[in-house]
Chains A and B, each alone.
Chain A
Amino acid sequence: MFRFRGGVHPDSHKQVTGEKPIEVLPLPAKLYVPVQQHIGAPAEPEVRVGDKVLKGQLLAHSQGAISAPIHAPRSGTILDITEHTAPHPSGLGVRTIIIETDGEDRWQDGLKTVNPFELDADEISARVGAAGIVGLGGATFPSAVKLNLGKRHPIYTLIINGGECEPYLTCDDRLMQECADEIIDGIRIMLHALKARQALIAIEDNKPAAIEIMKVAANLFDNVKLVVVPSRYPMGSEKQMVQTLTGLEIPAGKLSADLGVIVHNVGTAYAVHRALRLGRPLVSRIVTVGGGAVKSPRNLEVPLGTLVSTVFQHCGGFSETPARILMGGPMMGQLLPHANVPIVKGSSGVIALTAKEVAIDRARPCIRCGQCINACPCGLLPLEMAARSKKGDLQGAVDYGLMDCIACGSCSYVCPSHIPLVQFFNYAKGELAARRRHQQKADETRKLAEIRIQRLEQEEQAKQEAAARRKAQREAAKAKQEATV
């Protein structure tokens, strides 16, 4: 066991929901299924308004190398395909397929299932891709793409991330307690696909019940080991997890696969089990409903596309008006514009925080105490990066390592002056991305303009040549005529 530098110990708030079993949310009347629930290109709808769909039926197919298909979470009728607010801080719309559920909950016949250990790696990753499985820890990177990395890089270790270091969230904890065997099965299928030697399941030591159950389930297999890691935020971040278990630091701009390691979330392993053994695509997920403003917080199994407001209602509504609604954990989660947005594949939790929990404080000047430097798990200098971002010197911030920042928010958490450090980095990264897009467009424009000028010149030349040819022909004909006369 190794350790990563920095990190913080926020109050976990996990007891409230960690001890209650997962409940199944009653079927909502309408589901709002966005075509973009993953990193990469949005899926392209295959259904039309008015179509009847069965549970698990393909609604939208994936487009491009990094993308994921979307399936009908429940059976019903397609009401509309339109813009609906995305679960995103911008409050912007995203193309959404709206389904009116029919209550029959009828599955489409799944893919014929075979013993996954008789399938080759390509077939397994193809089935994982077709099931629409993405990283369920919250990053939503298409899992099939990650499984395919085994072909390009030799993979030795598959790390299963059961860290769940974000406060409030207990969806992975509950899943491990209730579906340990299924998770282990999913892990073994992924091991087989990656041809990796061993799987390490990493669980933070604040989940003793999950550790006990997973240990028993993992003990049946030699190549699956359970590792208890200390509870320290951001343990669940891929880079920090790899460093804790292997002692290797992922170099800047490289992938964990370059070190022979692949990290998947426990929820992803469970989804892989369901896709390969039962032929079921990803249509629902476990969501932690928590935060001080929720009357009766708990974990729910929610069909994708359920509105966040419905989920809160099922948990007794609010005891007071929440100051903030977040999707994901309080450290790295997305701020939601309102609760009228759907649950998507990456929604590990929906958290309604009270004003007291949010505790916004006025930012004061930096006193250069260096606490952010101690807390940064990436070994960066947040105070220097923030000062440069604030000034607009983005290149300066990049020189200080902005691109290696994982936006974990540990610096903002410890800052005694309440400086919005990570918020500055998010701003700077967005601004840099915008500039890159602008530059790209400018380069494209230049190329197009050059091609056009070339084309016009060619056309002009062709015209002149044709004119010259005609003239020559005319003269030749004239000469001939004169000769005959």
Chain B
Amino acid sequence: MIIAIMSLSLLGLTLGLLLGLAGRYLKVEQDPIVNDIEAMLPGSQCGQCGFPGCQSAAEALAAGEAAASICPPGGRLLAEALAEKLGIDVDFSMLADDEPVMAAVKEDTCIGCTRCFKVCPTDAIVGAPKQIHAVFKEACTGCKACVEVCPTECLQVHPIKLTLSTWSWPKPALAA
């Protein structure tokens, strides 16, 4: 009885140690920059870049196959940060910063089809079958995934209006 317990424990410990060592020494090296870049991306997996998710977009960026301006929700700020991270130059004059937008449901044409909240990457739309759906302003990223699936075109994105708390002074213009 005791011999059986001892031998099984020993076996378990040895195998466990072997597995632990193998995990440490035979680890598959992943390019750390991919992780860094993925952390910088919005992480909403919205797919606007053409890649299935932020992970694959990060891989493409690290491999130099994608432009720094690839991520529309990230905007100019992210493009700048990515360009700095990757040490590449981006022609920012070409990159018109898209006006930030937000989705809104037009109540009189919403049929309550539930398609939009199924595709929303941030769960920003609430609703139930045959009930009018609504968008949580705070959670919407303006990715337009819902606009594409809406059968009645009642979901549209609108530019986010400036308010007193989000307005800020423009850069002073200096006469040359």
Residues on A with C-beta less than 8 A from B123 are: 448, 451-452, 455
Is residue B44 contacting chain A, with contact meaning CB distance below 8 A? yes
Q: Which A residue's beta carbon lies closest to that of B40?
A: A442
Is residue A434 contacting chain B, with contact meaning CB distance below 8 A? yes
Residues on A with C-beta less than 8 A from B138 are: 444
Is residue A437 contacting chain B, with contact meaning CB distance below 8 A? yes
Count: A-B pairs, CB below 8 Å:
78
Binary contact readout B158-176 vs A (1 if CB under 8 angstroms, 0 otherwise): 0000111011111110110
Interface size (B, Cβ < 8 Å)? 27
Residues on A with C-beta less than 8 A from B164 are: 36, 86, 88, 90, 92, 94
Is residue A438 contacting chain B, with contact meaning CB distance below 8 A? yes
Q: Are A442 and B42 in contact (CB under 8 A)?
A: yes
Q: Are A452 and B172 in contact (CB under 8 A)?
A: no
Q: Which of B45, B170, B174, B175 has the most CB of A within 10 A?
A: B174
Is residue B156 contacting chain A, with contact meaning CB distance below 8 A? no
Given contacts A363-B175, A444-B139, A448-B124, contact A92 B167 (CB under 8 A): yes
Per the bound structure, the CA–CA distance linking A424 and B174 in Å amounts to 11
Is residue B15 contacting chain A, with contact meaning CB distance below 8 A? no
Is residue B127 contacting chain A, with contact meaning CB distance below 8 A? no
Q: Are B44 and A446 in contact (CB under 8 A)?
A: yes
Given contacts A444-B139, A448-B124, contact A427 B168 (CB under 8 A): yes
Q: Which B residue's beta carbon lies closest to that of A34?
A: B164
B140-169, CB < 8 A from A: 141, 162-164, 166-169
Q: Are B43 and A449 in contact (CB under 8 A)?
A: yes
Per the bound structure, the CA–CA distance linking A90 and B170 in Å amounts to 10
Given contacts A90-B167, A92-B162, A92-B163, contact A448 B44 (CB under 8 A): yes
Contacting A90 at CB < 8 Å: which of B42, B44, B73, B162?
B162
Q: Are B175 and A449 in contact (CB under 8 A)?
A: no
Residues on B with C-beta less than 8 A from A450 are: 43
Q: Are B77 and A438 in contact (CB under 8 A)?
A: yes
Binary contact readout B57-81 vs A (1 if CB under 8 angstroms, 0 otherwise): 0000000000000000111010000
Residues on B with C-beta less than 8 A from A460 are: none
Q: Are B172 and A420 in contact (CB under 8 A)?
A: yes
Per the bound structure, the CA–CA distance linking A389 and B172 in Å amounts to 10
Binary contact readout B35-52 vs A (1 if CB under 8 angstroms, 0 otherwise): 000000011110000000
Is residue B121 contacting chain A, with contact meaning CB distance below 8 A? yes
Residues on A with C-beta less than 8 A from B44 are: 445-446, 448-449
Residues on B with C-beta less than 8 A from A444 are: 138-139
Q: Are B139 and A448 in contact (CB under 8 A)?
A: yes
Binary contact readout A429-458 vs B (1 if CB under 8 angstroms, 0 otherwise): 111011101100110111011111101000
Looking at chain A's contact residues, the main secondary structure is helix
Q: Are A434 and B43 in contact (CB under 8 A)?
A: no
Q: Which B residue's beta carbon lies closest to that of A362?
A: B175
Q: Are B170 and A427 in contact (CB under 8 A)?
A: yes
Q: Which B residue's beta carbon lies closest to that of A438?
A: B77
Given contacts A94-B164, A431-B168, A433-B168, contact A446 B175 (CB under 8 A): no
Q: Are B42 and A446 in contact (CB under 8 A)?
A: yes
Per the bound structure, the CA–CA distance linking A435 and B80 in Å amounts to 12
Residues on A with C-beta less than 8 A from B73 are: 445
Shortest beta-carbon distance, B104 to chain A, in Å? 17
Shortest beta-carbon distance, B25 to chain A, in Å? 31
Per the bound structure, the CA–CA distance linking A430 and B169 in Å amounts to 6
Per the bound structure, the CA–CA distance linking A452 and B117 in Å amounts to 11
Residues on A with C-beta less than 8 A from B74 are: 442
Q: Which B residue's beta carbon lies closest to that of A451?
A: B123
Per the bound structure, the CA–CA distance linking A90 and B42 in Å amounts to 30
Residues on A with C-beta less than 8 A from B169 are: 89, 423, 426-427, 430
Q: 7 A-B residue contacts at CB 8 Å?
A: A92-B163, A390-B171, A420-B172, A424-B172, A426-B169, A441-B141, A444-B138
Closest 3 CB pairs of A and B: A430-B168, A446-B43, A448-B122
Q: Which residues of A contact B (CB under 8 A)?
A: 36, 86, 88-90, 92, 94, 362-363, 389-390, 420, 423-424, 426-427, 429-431, 433-435, 437-438, 441-442, 444-446, 448-453, 455
Q: Which residues of B contact A (CB under 8 A)?
A: 42-45, 73-75, 77, 121-124, 138-139, 141, 162-164, 166-172, 174-175
Given A434-B168, A449-B43, 13 more A-B residue pairs with CB atoms under 8 Å apart are A36-B164, A86-B164, A90-B164, A92-B163, A426-B169, A438-B77, A441-B141, A445-B73, A445-B141, A448-B139, A452-B123, A453-B45, A455-B123
